[in-house]
Structure 1
């Protein structure tokens, strides 16, 4: 079988890691590729639940089609609260669940797969692409700093092999270029901490070993964010392509604002509002809800709070009434547009990479309360490397620390310095996505790989 060295007849198998905020960046990138390559078909593989959430209400291009894969969950499965539990069950179902669905897609579309584009976590896709004799493109939805740490997993383990985690947790990673300010305790679970023999850490370790074999590794970032780390990653991969911030490259219509957050923000002066969102995976622990509300109330700053799950039920009685004139609590916000609004002056965040990119794109300093994964490492970079935000020192929100960092961010010289620093990063990000910018040129390279295939 042969396929012409053009976009005619191309079929890209897009394989998602259907958890947390991984699907959005991958789907956003696919939309952009599909718009630029209208004759290439993009089959998007994720669980039924993920596809239903991401494909239900939106008009998609004619050349993007979702296909469901088995999620690996036993019948009647009830999660016990740890975010890795359904992930590990899903991983046990791979790669057979994807292979079955790819066969269905090939039959329905009538084209063999000519390229595999996957979330980098799913390293097994590299082997699937190798079996088919097609390129494998891996997308890192986290940042380049966590990727660097994962690449150095074996070196890190060897360096600290003779020490317990407690003995080395305060030691900096001075032996890794670009990570000299990062401490061992900041590393994502699965590199040194946690059960290293469970499915999730093994997946991450295998990813670090497989990615150098990929045709290209893409990341939601821009080269100028840290030239040292960029050069480290370029030296480790065949092609390392920064194609972000993805929030600045999306050409689709703005997200709906069903709770009128943007008109509400219009009422306030520039850089005066606190925006609060801890992502969609782990809600703020009940023990931290009251200290946060006390700090918000006492600070006097206007605030917009995106609350998920049952957190709203934990808010103290009377708080909503006492802060009604300057506070707004909603179950969802159009975050990219909120962070781009001039009235937002501080972002209280879980420090997920997508949120950090959106905060940089909006020029908004951060107050970081990390929970898991790469979030502690990201917090270290935000505070100690870039100087564009604060980390919660105690590891959990306390009233007076939160009051302090809110005032330091929104009032006085310290806040101005952080706004100036993130403003410079914002400028670099905007330049990267302009015509001729580094991310724009990297996207062209990615498009060439997707559309120019020989089988």
Structure 2
């Protein structure tokens, strides 16, 4: 009688930037055909988002539990994060054990539970039910090292923001290179508690997984591995943009916003190679009215074509007459298929908020970046983009919080037209090659995934 495959369940935090990489990791596990893989999603996903299973194998199962809220309103509404966090924890704690027990009594018991690192309390559920547990980190190793030092009381924030901060395995950092929740601890204290809680029970976990690859942060990954056993299993983006081993895996499968695919690609098709700057600040950033105005006129004054994602909730901040004056140079859309856009030959640079997913996507697709971080880990990611990976420049700001139209226009010209842009593009292409290598058969991340599966199979037979 053939032995049943071990069953692994994955549950993500209900935000697009957290669900998508875990979904990709689930696809990658399922593609090995050695495990039964179940991804748990909120039942509102099917009604509030575009959700598909394309590029998945028969080994990947999607199941739904009710979180009891609209995903689009959830993490996007920071007015009462305590209420959101408490509600989410309550609903998962009520419904996840029921789902796990359903599989137990159906003859396909779950052995391993992988959960988003910002939900460390899920490990308690796993252990109570006799399962192995593994957090999945959707942020960089460098940011995790900073939070770890802060939690251990080993990080002293200098009063003078010009002072340098020294942390083992990291480059010297200005205080403003630290995550904004660290150098400005008064901002969103509830969210600071969430990010620090990620490290509260790591010693009880069975594995620690990172959406990253070894070459990208070799020094800090090695330092972290000396503290806790970690596995880098990324970059977790659709296979057809990397190693192309998962046929049909051309999209994440989830978008909380409806992208205008046809309009974006048709507009890009009419542009010359590397002639367009793509601008997007993700699903959560909210630029001030003054910043939107400076950015708008700066893009127009740069004399480059631009494709700018401005969510519907942000479009009222655009300057009057901007749309009509920019019609010949730019296209403004409420959302777009970011991977397809970054992969398009017409795109020459990416102005980004430096969220970890966007940063990885640009690196994996060889696109130079214009770094304009907003908050949390984005400031540290920007430091690495500019000074470590050397694939972008920082859009300078007089007070480190706001930029002028002159800043924007100059930086766009430097990357799109100057020798600086050529050097950045060459570096970006090299990182693209390394990312593809990591996820290809026998690459570092592929080996780590195989090792993870082997260890699951071994523990399931003990």
Q: Specify the TM-score bucket, using the shorter chain as the normaliser.
A: 0.7 to 0.9
Matched residue of 1:149: which SS?
A: helix
Label 1:240 to 1:5 Cα distance change in 2 as closer, same or farther (>3 A): farther
- Is the aligned partner of 1:439 residue 2:445? yes
Label 1:229 to 1:269 Cα distance change in 2 as closer, same or farther (>3 A): same
- Is the aligned partner of 1:113 residue 2:110? yes
Per-residue deviation, 1:277 = 0.6
C-alpha contact (below 8 Å) 2:135/2:209 kept by paired residues: yes
Per-residue deviation, 1:313 = 2.9
Q: Which residues in structure 2 correspond to 1:90-169 (within 5 Å)?
A: 90-93=84-87, 95-109=89-103, 110=106, 111-155=108-152, 157-160=153-156, 167-169=159-161
Label 1:66 to 1:227 Cα distance change in 2 as closer, same or farther (>3 A): same
In 2, distance between residues paired with 1:149 and 1:159? Answer: 8
- Is the aligned partner of 1:258 residue 2:261? yes
| Alpha-carbon RMSD | 3.0
Unaligned runs of 5+ in 2: 252-258
> Who is 1:414 aligned against?
420
Matched residue of 1:363: which SS?
A: coil
Per-residue deviation, 1:119 = 0.6
Per-residue deviation, 1:180 = 2.5
C-alpha contact (below 8 Å) 2:368/2:425 kept by paired residues: yes
- Is the aligned partner of 1:85 residue 2:80? yes
The alignment's TM-score, normalised by the length of structure 2, stands at 0.85
> Who is 2:256 aligned against?
none
> Who is 1:66 aligned against?
63
In 2, distance between residues paired with 1:419 and 1:296? Answer: 20
- Is the aligned partner of 1:170 residue 2:162? yes
In 2, distance between residues paired with 1:388 and 1:191? Answer: 25
Q: Give CA-to-partner distance per residue, 1:10-65, whole Å, 9 cap, x none.
A: 43332211125111111121122233337614150x44434644574556655423
Unaligned runs of 5+ in 1: none
Q: Give CA-to-partner distance per residue, 1:329-365, whole Å, 9 cap, x none.
A: 1122111121112221111111101001111112111
Q: Give CA-to-partner distance per residue, 1:72-113, whole Å, 9 cap, x none.
A: 89xxxx989753734x32432465432321233235442433
- Is the aligned partner of 1:181 residue 2:172? yes
Label 1:403 to 1:205 Cα distance change in 2 as closer, same or farther (>3 A): same
> Who is 1:25 aligned against?
21
Per-residue deviation, 1:384 = 2.0
C-alpha contact (below 8 Å) 2:341/2:347 kept by paired residues: yes
Label 1:28 to 1:242 Cα distance change in 2 as closer, same or farther (>3 A): closer
> Who is 1:200 aligned against?
191
In 1, distance between residues paired with 2:166 and 2:158? Answer: 18
In 1, distance between residues paired with 2:231 and 2:35? Answer: 26
- Is the aligned partner of 1:327 residue 2:327? no
> Who is 1:399 aligned against?
405
Matched residue of 2:308: which SS?
A: strand
- Is the aligned partner of 1:271 residue 2:274? yes
Matched residue of 1:216: which SS?
A: coil
The alignment's TM-score, normalised by the length of structure 1, stands at 0.86
Bigger CA drift: 91-100 or 52-61? 52-61
Q: What is the number of residues matched between the two proteins?
A: 440
In 1, distance between residues paired with 2:101 and 2:230? Answer: 32
Per-residue deviation, 1:120 = 1.0
